[in-house]
Chains A and B, each alone.
Chain A
């Protein structure tokens, strides 16, 4: 009987403990909650002002090529300013980049107009965005990853108007060509420069239409024109019960990125003779699937095709020519850099895989991705760990490694292992 009474007593104590600690705590927090509410009402919790600073340190594991980068990002109510400060080990060797600076205006409840330097990032694919027509103007060449390249580029000077309706979204874009005079302030290659010659190298205009075809299928179509001609793009995605299937496609009559690099950089006839440099229809596209599991894990797999890219024969020619002379090797190295700056895939067949796990342990996210060139089996892989230290500070560390033979797309890169540490502070 006594045992039963003790059990009853304990069960009552244990049962009420949950509420006791909660109610006790609630008394303590009631005042602070009221304060929070008052503060929120004063500053309007929907304030769009946001500021953060990022400190990034990059290093190859041999410690020969360290660099530091500070990024300042300020969002105002009707404008955005994104400034990037790159500095290498030599402190005199720095550069300030104004990545974005634009004004947003709302002409009516559903019509918007933006003007200024804007980094437009289009596309739904995770590995490569064939319809990202404002790519290029990269300022940080250390990474080949699409997400890095999109974030590390200068915006283009442009104006865009967007009309939203319940059934579609229509966007018109115009971006003027800026004179590439090397002495002009907008082309300045010194410490502070706008780099408009790299982002606005051609007249561009386009129209984007976003429509819902039926319940789970989203689609958008883009028709863009620049001095090369017309580009037609489509983006389709289908979502159902944790799955997303997507496809992004672009077709244009153009030079391939390899031939453009060889022509624009005015390289030797040897290269011109060995690569197809004629203008023809170029198709670029991706087909992928993502699945999110119940335990916060997202897995994605994507196939990327570039009809103007190098297949096995192309890469064999590339390395054969590289071995003929140091001059040719330098020229081919510049062709590769051209692809990085212009955010283009150099291979013809690429496979992209990604896995991300949120809250793998307390406040820590993990992600891993890999690009595999299907012609030679070489790959670039990266693992990233992100830790939310508190409400203002986030730590992030990643390691990128190239795999493959010396004469393969990724195995031939000089820095085969790169480590990065980043701290972000939110004001």
Chain B
């Protein structure tokens, strides 16, 4: 009898620990698809829509590099359009966001939750590994319709933030079972109010893996408001660490 109980206990521990590891592994594998795993440059075209009509647009250049100490991405985002915001730079370093304005020559700390354009916040254009910022829990398997209108057999995961520096405290995250591709994410406030419903789509071969090249963001309060983030021109790039110093922002040219 003791043997049976012991075997059962080992089984329970094994299953539960396997479940926890699996959830983390799923998010980690999904991160590797969503993010390019080395220093890189790419362009991002952001267009917001209200009632299916184009409302605003923005173009940014993104420079990202993984920090060897934290494993998280450090990112520089330079706005290239519209003209009024041209050459403003947003920098993420150690989970802090800084905005440099070339007109005032001043850099100020900003919130990752602050709106950049349409439904896009500053944090959304920053490359980020969910597996480092969130604790994942596998909820169930589910078939859902993706941004490509096709049905996908997915893991549904619940992601809870480790710290308050992230843009979203709580995420429901759907990852395709066979490929670990992220399909959909619902991003919530700490009080579980839906902020954004996000679809990852247009999977293309980008720097050694098949990755989403478009992200659709629907407003959590009004689905008539939507924003499309389109990524292109990704290439690997050697980025010195000193680019991520605040004092370097006035000199930053991307070269």
Quick one: which of B111, B163, B226 has the most chain A CB within 10 A? Answer: B111
A22-B49 contact, Cβ under 8 Å, with A109-B240, A169-B245: yes
Total A-B residue pairs with C-beta atoms closer than 8 Å? 141
A contact residues, range: 35 or more
Taken residue by residue from 41 to 68, chain A's Cβ proximity to chain B (1 for < 8 Å, 0 otherwise) reads as 0000111101010000000000000000
Q: How far is the CA of A427 from the CA of B245 in the complex (A)?
A: 30
**B87:A50 contact, CB within 8 angstroms:** yes
- In the assembled complex, the CB of A156 is this many whole angstroms from the nearest CB of chain B, namely 14
Neighbouring B residues of A169 by C-beta, 8 Å: 242, 245, 247-248
A36-B45 contact, Cβ under 8 Å, with A19-B149, A45-B59, A109-B240: yes
A210-B216 contact, Cβ under 8 Å, with A239-B96, A296-B111: no
Neighbouring A residues of B164 by C-beta, 8 Å: 241-242
Query: Is B16 positioned at the interface, with any CB of A under 8 Å from its CB?
Result: no
- In the assembled complex, the CB of B236 is this many whole angstroms from the nearest CB of chain A, namely 17
Which residues from 44 to 84 on chain B have a C-beta closer than 8 Å to any C-beta of chain A?
45, 47, 49, 51-54, 56-57, 59, 61, 78, 80-84
A18-B223 contact, Cβ under 8 Å, with A29-B47, A359-B115: yes
Query: Is B7 positioned at the interface, with any CB of A under 8 Å from its CB?
Result: no
Which residues from 233 to 255 on chain B have a C-beta closer than 8 Å to any C-beta of chain A?
240-242, 245-248, 251, 253-255
Query: Is B141 positioned at the interface, with any CB of A under 8 Å from its CB?
Result: no
Q: How far is the CA of A216 from the CA of B109 in the complex (A)?
A: 13
**B53:A164 contact, CB within 8 angstroms:** no
Query: Is A215 positioned at the interface, with any CB of B under 8 Å from its CB?
Result: yes
Neighbouring B residues of A46 by C-beta, 8 Å: 61, 78, 80, 253-255
Give the segment of B27-35, B99-107, B124-132 that binds chain A. Answer: B99-107
Give the segment of A83-91, A278-286, A388-396 that binds chain B. Answer: A388-396
Q: How far is the CA of A48 from the CA of B250 in the complex (A)?
A: 12
Nearest 6 interchain pairs by C-beta: A391-B82, A21-B52, A426-B83, A45-B80, A166-B241, A164-B242
Additional A-B contacts beyond A22-B52, A169-B245 (13; CB < 8 A): A21-B52, A22-B228, A37-B45, A47-B80, A50-B83, A147-B104, A164-B247, A169-B248, A242-B164, A294-B113, A391-B83, A392-B84, A426-B82
- A residues at B contact (CB < 8 Å): 15-16, 18-19, 21-22, 24-26, 29, 33, 36-37, 40, 45-48, 50, 52, 73, 75, 104, 106, 109-110, 112, 119, 121, 147, 150-151, 162, 164-166, 169, 210, 212, 215-216, 218, 220, 239, 241-242, 244, 290, 292-296, 298, 358-359, 388, 391-394, 424, 426-427
